[in-house]
A and B are shown apart, each in its own frame.
Chain A
Amino acid sequence: MGSAIEIRNATKDYGRGRGVFDLSLTVAPGEVVGFLGANGAGKSVTMRMLMGFVRPQSGSARIFGRDCFSQRAEIQKSVGYLPGELAFPGDMTGCSFLRFAASMAAVEGDGFRLGCKRADELAEFFELDPSVPLRSMSKGTRQKVGIVAAFMTKPRLLLLDEPTSGLDLLMQRRFVELVQAEKHRGATIMLSSHLLGEVEGTCDRAVFIRQGRLVCTASAGELTLDGVMGQLYGPQALQRHWGDGRERSAVGARSFEGEEVRS
Chain B
Amino acid sequence: MSLPLFRRSLRSLAVAVAAIAAVMAVYIGMVVYLYDPEVNESLQLMQEAMPELFAAFGMANPSATLCDFLLNYLYGFMFTGLFALMGAYMAQRLAVGPTKDGSLAWLLASPCSRPRLAVTLIAAQVAVVLLTVLLLWASEAAFCEALFPGELDQVALARANLGLAALGLFAASLCFASGFAFQRPSVALWAGAGACILFLLMGLAGTVGEGLEWVASLSPFSLYDAYGLAAGEADAAAGSVGLLGASTALFAAGAAAFCRRDFSL
Contact = CB atoms under 8 A, between A and B. Distances in A.
Nearest to B109: A81
Interface stretch (A52-60, A172-180, A213-221, A237-245): A52-60
Interface of B: 2, 4-5, 8, 12, 98, 101-103, 105-114, 116, 262-265
Contacts of B116: 73
A48 interface: yes
Interface residues of A, number: 28
A25 interface: no
Contact of B263 (A54, A79, A91, A103): A54
A52 B107 CA distance: 12
Given A48-B264, A73-B116, A104-B2, A53 B105 contact: yes
Contacts of A51: 105, 108-109
Nearest to A82: B109
Contact of B265 (A55, A79, A83): A83
A83 B102 contact: yes
Nearest to A159: B109
Nearest to A88: B103
Interface in A58-109: 72-74, 76-77, 79, 81, 83, 85-91, 100-101, 103-105, 107
A104 B110 contact: yes
Given A53-B262, A53-B263, A54-B262, A104 B107 contact: yes
A90 B111 CA distance: 22
A54 B262 CA distance: 4
B265 A48 contact: yes
Contacts of B113: 72-73
B150 to A, nearest CB: 44
Given A54-B262, A89-B12, A104-B4, A83 B112 contact: no
Contacts of B102: 83, 85-87
A23 interface: no
Contacts of A83: 102, 105, 109, 265
Given A72-B108, A100-B8, A107-B111, 14 more contacts: A48-B265, A53-B108, A53-B262, A54-B264, A72-B113, A76-B109, A76-B112, A79-B109, A83-B109, A83-B265, A85-B102, A101-B106, A104-B4, A104-B107
Given A72-B108, A73-B112, A87 B103 contact: yes
Nearest to A81: B109
A104 B98 contact: no
Contact of B111 (A54, A88, A91, A105): A105
B21 to A, nearest CB: 19
17 contacts: A48-B264, A51-B108, A53-B262, A53-B263, A53-B265, A72-B108, A74-B111, A76-B112, A87-B101, A87-B103, A87-B105, A88-B103, A101-B110, A104-B2, A104-B5, A104-B107, A104-B111
